[in-house]
Chains A and B, each alone.
Chain A
């Protein structure tokens, strides 16, 4: 059983669009009944056709799931063979995905302002989180980091600026961009932008997704200011639904949680933040 209450199951999907949106980054819009069952922060396990020697499914978050139209938007980085073949899927082509997998983001305990931090391909679940907050009227600011300007998804950033505003949501939203090389927005890491924001504003909740060292930094900063922080973690996944114990996350109490069913969203305070 997942956070959205739906049982994890096997679903067909059909590719509607599959196009490059930034350097190394693609967006696939597909049609699937699963879209109606997903909560922001959950993920799906995608089977990419065409090479039987790759047996694992690919775990992927989503940026948007539209229950009415059945549209699901996945934003992914091409980093290896599986994601390369995913980028080669043609419009109209069908395959299967397993979902909903894992637990989504939790809404903030109180109605205070939230700070969202995305690094690289951590953007999709943070975008979904932003939509959730905008719909529930929670005010938030966003930091989006990438290596360089060409790797920023401009379309999603624009939407982050405008989403929910017409519904009377917080109009003074800050969307801060960073790049490692200074080619767009602030030069430096997302944690530096986050420090600046923390110095100026009070936040009740931090949500973060990105590379592990980034999340470790965000978690440390949040904890030092005693702000609740949720992180969405990545692990190699065998099944995605709690059957193989391959996706362990070491917790501070010395036990091992499963990223796929106990996460991927974790309270940062529970996680042992060592990097291998």
Chain B
């Protein structure tokens, strides 16, 4: 029998036993999935829901609409604030790390000051975090979110403010536009890795009521329908930067994850698929490993960016 393929990867200092991570906001904070499978013993990393310094109530209902091969959400980063988050999930998340799975805490804010405050609190209260993900790409909040990362200059400014606050790795979650330029700006300010893409802003109108199908006019589209777009953006970004990437967008199978890796991603997050198939992330790990072992390589690293063009 051939030796097993090495599946472990290094996402900018976050060591992962395999490339599979979970997309923020689609995996609760891990614990919700423990009834389905042993999360800590299975995944490479989990990324928690975005958390701000203070609690946020999020947007009004309805927050969700179903589209062909996709969903649209306007959750708006409902979260309990860093202290309550750590109080509720700290012990559990430490147990995830103890089982060999990295834990990435996502940092949210409406302004540079709020990102700074949130990361300071995380730095102080969350020793279990293997690294942080800076969310400068949420399309569902009125100020901050995607607006904070809309241009290379804005994105760089946030990164510059938070970089000195922690020695732990910072991944930056990017919106689905200008990923090469913004990626370069973030790399220059010391980002350890980039994750992309966040949801794509969309609209769905109920033609009888003439209202949006969710409580806000626009919301973020995710799921299988956005996968091809996400792969293209990962490929563009991979050519622009040297830091590692986490590919996100419509990944529901090992084949989808393999595409991300061939396009240049080091890690791959499963998002919407977790909601519709709670076993999805575990299945993606298994299917990806099966694919890698058919490729005649000794390590998954050899397949990164191996797209032929």
Contact = CB atoms under 8 A, between A and B. Distances in A.
A joins B in a complex:
yes
Interface of A: 7-10, 47, 52-57, 98, 235-239, 241-250, 254-256, 276
B62 interface: yes
B224 A244 contact: no
A244 B223 contact: no
Given A248-B61, A249-B61, A250-B61, A242 B73 contact: no
Contacts of B59: 248
Interface in B57-74: 57-66, 68-71, 73
B26 A53 contact: no
For chain A, what secondary structure do more than half of its interface residues adopt (helix, strand, loop), or is it mixed? Answer: loop
Contacts of A9: 35-36
Interface string B260-295: 000000000000101111110000000000000000
Contacts of B58: 245, 248, 256
A2 to B, nearest CB: 9
Contacts of B61: 235, 247-250, 276
A9 B35 CA distance: 6
Contacts of B60: 248, 250, 276
A57 B71 CA distance: 12
A242 B35 contact: no
Most chain-B Cβ atoms within 10 A of its Cβ — which of A53, A237, A249?
A53
Contacts of A239: 32, 274-275, 278
Contacts of B78: 245, 248, 256
Contacts of A10: 36, 278-279
A244 B278 contact: no
A241 B223 CA distance: 19
A245 B73 CA distance: 10
A143 to B, nearest CB: 27
A265 to B, nearest CB: 17
Contact of B65 (A8, A54, A236, A276): A236
Contacts of A256: 57-58, 78
Contacts of B278: 10, 98, 239, 241
A246 B75 contact: yes
B69 A244 contact: no
